[in-house]
Amino acid sequence: MFGTTFILAIRSILRHKLRSILTALGIIIGVAAVVTMVTLGKATTAAVQQQISALGTNILQIRPGQGFGRGGGGPRPPDFKPADVTAIRDQVAGVTAVAPQAQTTATVIYNGANWSTTVNGTTNGYFEVSPWPLIEGRYWTRAEEQAGKAVCIIGTTIQTNLFRGGSAAGSRIRVNGISCDVIGVLKTKGQAGFGGDQDDVVIMPIKQVQRRFTGSTDIRLMLVGTDPAYNSAQIQSSITDLLRERRNISGGKQDDFNIFDTAQISQTLTGTTTLLTQIVAAVAGISLVVGGIGIMNIMLVSVTERTREIGIRLAIGAVASEVLMQFLVEAVVLSMLGGLIGLLLAQMAVALMSWLGSLPFLFDVQINVIAFAISAIIGVVFGYFPARRAASLNPIDALRHE
């Protein structure tokens, strides 16, 4: 019986193709919008997590000032000193390594080609705190670091623009007129979580950068690697107490430095993108309800148009449940077809927007199954009233209908 009912439902839908498509349009748009928004939201979250993890895990970033700026309108807080790096490394439990950084911008020249980039002066602790593999060459030795040798490790952006992607290790470049031996090339990392090309960098021993570029031993950033076995909050508290003591901050005075935990940043950004995704998906889901109302409206029209047909079926022996099932199946099939088309459109939209936005393409089985199931449920919910109305018609009155 169900097979016959299903065939009759399909025939009825195909009999009015244009009307059926327009009826299902609300479901198509609703499913496509919800699936697209949720999938892109998850792709954005995955991209944020990937970019944050590229900065390293179990890392604390310590900077002078409050927040990312100096905070307030007062004088600029003093930079850190090499002794601060040593104190944190030796006196705070749970610290695995400390990497001071001194940064500047410079023009790099090789064989007539030039490129403006960032020069990052640091220690070997940088590669312990935030492991960054090499694709060729080596890291500098402890002796080269202590002596502040003119050696450097470059990112792939520098390799591409100066060496045309060819081998760079063993070559000599000029950084703001200072000769530097390239001893290694870093593996590609891509864009950072807060913008900027992580591969557009020249990394040198910090003593070389301080002596030849910045002209001071001041440190604007420290990366602190932490042992995951220790509580991060406790480590931050110990570092705060130590730096307050070293920077003569007493009483209720505010800290003139800030500590950022990359794990906390990742959790905050992930939570924010997830919340925005849920809000947008809820708004898009309203169109599913609108689509369901459209199906109910058209099914009511269909019942009116086919009143005489219903009367004939009831008169020759069809029971009310069969009529109800026929119209209910029509509504469900129409809604499910809309859901299926919506899923196909959603995948096309996700693929396109992922490509345009440089996001990973994700196929979320769960949201696709849920969206398709909801489309079927909408067909049942909004199709039941018209189906019930058709099944409750009096055969005599239905046959008299013109």
At 66 the pLDDT is 65
- Amino acid letter, residue 328: L
Least Cα distance to 259 among 63, 6, 41, 19 occurs for: 63
209 in the same domain as 82: yes
125 in the same domain as 7: no
> Who contacts 188 (Cβ-Cβ below 8 Å, separation ≥6)?
155, 156, 199
336 in the same domain as 216: no
Q: How far apart are CA 25 and CA 223, in angstroms?
A: 54
At 344 the pLDDT is 92
Q: Return the residue matching tokens 């089985």.
A: 365
109 in the same domain as 248: yes
Residue 88 contacts residue 95 (beta carbons within 8 Å):
yes
* CA atoms in the 13 A half-sphere facing the CB of 258: 10
Give me the tens of pLDDT residue by residue for the chain, a chain 402 residues long: 556 666 766 777 777 777 778 777 888 888 888 888 888 887 877 777 666 666 556 788 898 886 544 444 557 788 898 999 999 989 999 898 899 999 899 999 988 888 999 999 999 889 888 888 899 999 999 999 999 899 999 999 999 888 887 888 889 999 988 899 999 999 888 665 445 678 889 999 999 999 988 888 889 899 998 888 888 889 999 999 999 989 888 877 888 888 888 777 667 777 777 777 777 777 777 777 778 888 787 777 777 766 677 677 667 766 667 777 777 888 888 888 888 998 999 889 888 888 887 777 878 788 888 888 888 888 888 888 877 777 776 666 556 555
> Who contacts 133 (Cβ-Cβ below 8 Å, separation ≥6)?
186, 187
Last residue of a domain, one of 255, 278, 312: 255
At 123 the pLDDT is 92
Residue 362: inside a domain: yes
Q: How far apart are CA 243 and CA 225, in angstroms?
A: 17
159 in the same domain as 114: yes
387 in the same domain as 367: yes
Residue 282: inside a domain: yes
At 1 the pLDDT is 54
Residue 261: inside a domain: no
Last residue of a domain, one of 225, 255, 285: 255
At 393 the pLDDT is 66
217 in the same domain as 341: no
287 in the same domain as 243: no
Least Cα distance to 96 among 119, 64, 46, 130 occurs for: 130
Residue 229 contacts residue 141 (beta carbons within 8 Å):
no
Residue 60: inside a domain: no
At 71 the pLDDT is 46
At 278 the pLDDT is 76
Residue 97 contacts residue 125 (beta carbons within 8 Å):
yes
- Structure tokens belonging to residue 244: 């307050």
Backbone angles phi and psi of 2, in degrees to 5: -65, -35
Q: How far apart are CA 129 and CA 322, in angstroms?
A: 71
Residues written for the chain: 402
Q: What is the number of structural domains in the chain? A: 2
Backbone angles phi and psi of 71, in degrees to 5: 80, 145
239 in the same domain as 101: yes
Residue 159 contacts residue 168 (beta carbons within 8 Å):
yes
Residue 63: inside a domain: no
Least Cα distance to 120 among 140, 104, 133 occurs for: 104
Q: How far apart are CA 58 and CA 236, in angstroms?
A: 12
292 in the same domain as 272: yes
Last residue of a domain, one of 255, 284, 308: 255
Q: Which helix (H) or strand (E) holds 72?
A: none
227 in the same domain as 102: yes
pTM (2 d.p.): 0.61
> Who contacts 301 (Cβ-Cβ below 8 Å, separation ≥6)?
none
Domain containing residue 164: 78-255
218 in the same domain as 292: no
Residue 61: inside a domain: no
Residue 326: inside a domain: yes
Residue 73: inside a domain: no
